[in-house]
Structure 1
Amino acid sequence: MAAVDSLPAVASKGGRNGRCNLLFLHYGDDAMRGSEISLLKIMYGLDRERFGLFAICNRERYRQALEAAGVTARCAEIPEVMVDGRYLRLQVASFFRTVFSLARYIKRNDIRLVYCNNGLPSQAGYYAAKLAGVPIVSHVRSPYNLRYILLYRMNRVTARVFVSRAIRDEFCGKVRPKGLSTVIYNSVDTERFTPARQRDGGERAELGIPADRIVLGQVGSLIYRKGIDVVLEALALARESNAALHLVLAGSGADEPAFRRAAETMGVQRAVTFLGEVAEPLALYQQVFDINLLASRREAFGVSLIEGASCGLPAIGSRVDGIPEIIDDNSSGILVPPGDAAALAQAMLTLAADRSLRERMGAAGRQIVLSRFSLDRYVASVGAVIEDILAG
């Protein structure tokens, strides 16, 4: 993988012929999750007559996805300087090389604004943008403790975009940030993610799920933060009253072996389908799930909830962080305390027992998505922030 130092300049497409060049910085792993997908939506939606789009990311897979979106993309390491307990990254020499290289890249390519997708790239991006004399935006997609906020310089950037009010309020409760702070919710393509006209049973049959089962589904990483252990415990409790419940887990993660063992220990392994990583969950929402879950212990927003709601599914979610900004309790779904398996089991039983309630909540969820979380609204809001900053 190239260092930023070695990245060639690209012929300028900036102000000289009417377009403003924007540079997007992204750091992540190989999985295509909410952060990666949400940034791609911005790329596809921004006006290409108005903006020239450049990006630097640390994964080749994502670089290819950006190139497919028509973005001039490069793959390079994005070093970090962080001391936080056992997490120690002091890439000082490479960090300063990267800062100066980024600043040169910004100037050579006539970049007018740097947009950092989450915290880590904001650190190098902040100093590079300062050297180059351009504004910088940090899209804050996760909760951060004070040390990360300060070292990543998210409190000092020109503007911050938060994925939920909860994350904004937590951030601003720790530090008084400079510049603009605004909330822009993540989005879903409501023309693609729509309720199925009818269910033919084929998708369930392929997964070996009997037609008479009530299927609960959760899409996301199989990690402790997502509350998979709580979901499994709740399923075991709920199946004591309703043996027709079946759970589908779409995703992968470091804790998957432990969750598989837990399912066996609880005796529910035959009522749980581990799908692994799913590139496209649309068919799950439309043809497999009856109830959409997100039982996270922390969750800045929860894209899977708006995807399922857009497809007309009722939801059960933890009353934590940004989730209550998606689910209207007892209207489009049910909110439960995070980590409370008994409350989650009761919510499962309530929705499983009443098909008409599921349909009413699913219809309400669809209307909420149309009004709050549409793709057009999302891209227009991000574009407005960029335009406001460029206008000074």
Structure 2
Amino acid sequence: MKKKQILIIAPSINVKGGISTVVKGHLGSELSNKYQIFRVSSHKDGNKLIKLLTAVKGAVRIIFYLLSKHIDIVHIHGSDPLSSLRKYFLFRIVEQFNCKTIYHFHGASFLESYVSKSPFFQHKINYLFRNVDRVICLSNTWEKQIAELIPGTARTVVIQNTVSLPERRTEKDHQEKKEVYILFLGLIGDRKGIFDLLKVMVKLKKAGHRLKLYVGGNGDVNKLEQTIDSLNIRDMVAYKGWVTGKDKETLYLNSDLYVLPSYGEGMPMSILEAMSYGLPVISTDVGGIPDLIEDDKTGFLIEPGDLHGMFNKIEILIKDRKLRSRMGMNARKKIEKEYNFDANISKLDALYQTLIAD
């Protein structure tokens, strides 16, 4: 029996970020055996010319696949308003052909950015959300917010991001350490709250706590380095660059807690990964994060920009190793139960089957 054909439109899998992680997970799953999957890169890191050429090449390849293959489903991945606008133009190409469409929405600071856009800009994004066959949301919170923001949005389905479970951490090394290790992974910039965390590190240093903050990610690295020096915390902050593979695994295994004081998120892969390694998480109540973190059970939730609250929650976990351990075990169990990779793939497979049957 001939395999059904899926065309995935997403940023290059070499782009640094959560979407590429999700797409690589799908491509490496049983979906690749069950379906014939084609992939087109719609975006690539680089200067404006590289991005423009990637977009044009992507549009040409989409047309090629739609003309030369029997594509059953086009699965489009996008995030912020600008990304959604780019996907609108690609969708207008796709809708000229007889295939089902999915918009996989990885929104981060979408709500705040959307409302500031012009009516023309909003109209294009609204058209995309209302005319695809399904919109995949990463959390129940996002599903409700999108329905309120863009009335008439196509039928939505919630499929959370997931991670594969690593080996369990052992407590032996962590009991013998004299310092508490904090981890932050993500885009270096204001949205992720890294500069708020650095300010809190100053307060923690003044309070006499023995800490080490590991920072991994890409973005405004110059500002990060300048801020570390201006705050005089070079002795307690180490920038590790963009970390992947074994290097990232080592950071998770050697850390005691994970902090992501973000101002806007969808469902951060880094929090899922941290929880899968048994780390308690301190983060903000934005996007799908409250669906992940149960306050006082798997970590702590704070308001974006609440430096005092961040200081208090970090200090609580610094002083109480048993609480860190208990929250970390609860976090791991939550991932095992609710964010299982196989269950995620089964949901996506079921959605594909439903659209094909239609």
User: Is 1:34 paired with 2:18?
Assistant: yes
Alignment map for 1:6-25 (pairs within 5 Å): 17-25=1-9
Task: Report if the CA contact (8 A) 1:311-1:366 is conserved.
Answer: yes
Residue 48 of structure 2 corresponds to: none
Q: How many aligned positions are there? A: 334
CA gap 1:47/1:76 in 2 versus in 1, 3 angstroms: farther
CA gap 1:169/1:55 in 2 versus in 1, 3 angstroms: same
CA gap 1:301/1:149 in 2 versus in 1, 3 angstroms: farther
- Residues 35-71 of structure 1: CA distance to partner in whole angstroms, max 9, x if unpaired? 101011112224344310001104689xxxxxxxxxx
Q: 1:362 aligns with which of 328, 332, 337?
A: 328
User: Is 1:265 paired with 2:230?
Assistant: yes
User: Is 1:315 paired with 2:315?
Assistant: no
- Residues 207-263 of structure 1: CA distance to partner in whole angstroms, max 9, x if unpaired? xxx94110111111111100011000111112222330211101121x222222222
User: Displacement of 1:138 after TM fit?
Assistant: 0.5
User: Is 1:220 paired with 2:204?
Assistant: no
CA–CA distance in structure 2, aligned partners of residues 320 and 178 of structure 1: 21
Q: 1:342 aligns with which of 294, 308, 313?
A: 308
- Residues 141-193 of structure 1: CA distance to partner in whole angstroms, max 9, x if unpaired? 01431655642412321100011223222221111234320111100101xx2
- Residues 314-336 of structure 1: CA distance to partner in whole angstroms, max 9, x if unpaired? 11111212111111000010111
CA–CA distance in structure 2, aligned partners of residues 158 and 59 of structure 1: 23
Residue 77 of structure 1 corresponds to: 54
Residue 113 of structure 1 corresponds to: 73
CA–CA distance in structure 1, aligned partners of residues 259 and 272 of structure 2: 11
Residue 102 of structure 1 corresponds to: 62
Instruction: Please give the secondary structure, in 2, of the residue aligned with 1:226.
Output: coil
User: Is 1:135 paired with 2:100?
Assistant: yes
Instruction: Please give the secondary structure, in 1, of the residue aligned with 2:39.
Output: strand
User: Is 1:306 paired with 2:272?
Assistant: yes
| Matched letter for residue 257 of structure 1 | N
What TM-score comes out, normalization by structure 1 length?
0.79
CA gap 1:172/1:37 in 2 versus in 1, 3 angstroms: same
Residue 351 of structure 1 corresponds to: 317
Please list every run of 5 or more consecutive structure 2 residues that lacks an aligned counterpart in the other structure: 46-51, 79-83
- The RMSD of aligned alpha carbons is 2.5
Please list every run of 5 or more consecutive structure 1 residues that lacks an aligned counterpart in the other structure: 1-16, 62-74, 80-93, 202-209
User: Displacement of 1:31 after TM fit?
Assistant: 3.3
Instruction: Please give the secondary structure, in 2, of the residue aligned with 1:252.
Output: coil
% identity of equivalent residues: 20
Instruction: Please give the secondary structure, in 1, of the residue aligned with 2:214.
Output: strand
Alignment map for 1:169-184 (pairs within 5 Å): 169-184=144-159
Residue 49 of structure 2 corresponds to: none
Task: Report if the CA contact (8 A) 2:3-2:34 is conserved.
Answer: yes
Task: Report if the CA contact (8 A) 2:13-2:20 is conserved.
Answer: no
User: Displacement of 1:275 after TM fit?
Assistant: 0.5
Residue 13 of structure 1 corresponds to: none
Alignment map for 1:145-156 (pairs within 5 Å): 145=114, 150-152=123-125, 153-156=128-131
Instruction: Please give the secondary structure, in 2, of the residue aligned with 1:348.
Output: helix
User: Displacement of 1:105 after TM fit?
Assistant: 2.4
| Matched letter for residue 156 of structure 1 | N
CA–CA distance in structure 1, aligned partners of residues 235 and 356 of structure 2: 56
Task: Report if the CA contact (8 A) 1:155-1:178 is conserved.
Answer: yes
- Residues 78-106 of structure 1: CA distance to partner in whole angstroms, max 9, x if unpaired? 25xxxxxxxxxxxxxx99xx47x734521
CA–CA distance in structure 1, aligned partners of residues 38 and 25 of structure 2: 15
Instruction: Please give the secondary structure, in 2, of the residue aligned with 1:179.
Output: coil
Residue 38 of structure 2 corresponds to: 54
